[in-house]
Amino acid sequence: MALTEYELVLLDDGEIVLQRAGSSEPLVTITFSEPVMQYLGNKHVDVAKVMIDAGIKAAVNINEGENVTKTVNFDPKQHSIH
Task: Please report, in tens digits, the pLDDT of each residue of the chain (82 residues total).
Answer: 467 899 999 999 889 999 999 999 999 999 999 999 999 988 999 999 999 999 988 888 888 876 655 555 555 555 444 4
Residue 78 counted as domain residue: no
- Domain assignment present for residue 74? The answer is no
Predicted local distance difference test score (pLDDT) of residue 18: 94
Question: What's the total number of domains in the chain?
Answer: 1
Residues 6+ apart with CB under 8 A from 52: 8, 18, 28, 30
User: Would 52 be classed as within a structural domain?
Assistant: yes
pLDDT at 47: 95
Q: How far apart are CA 37 and CA 33, in angstroms?
A: 6
The whole domain housing 42 covers 6-63
DSSP lists the bridge partners of residue 30 as: 16
Does 57 fall in a domain? yes
Strand order in the sheet with 26-30: 6-10, 16-20, 26-30
Residue at 68 is within a domain: no
Q: pTM for this one?
A: 0.69
60, 54 Cβ separation under 8 angstroms: no
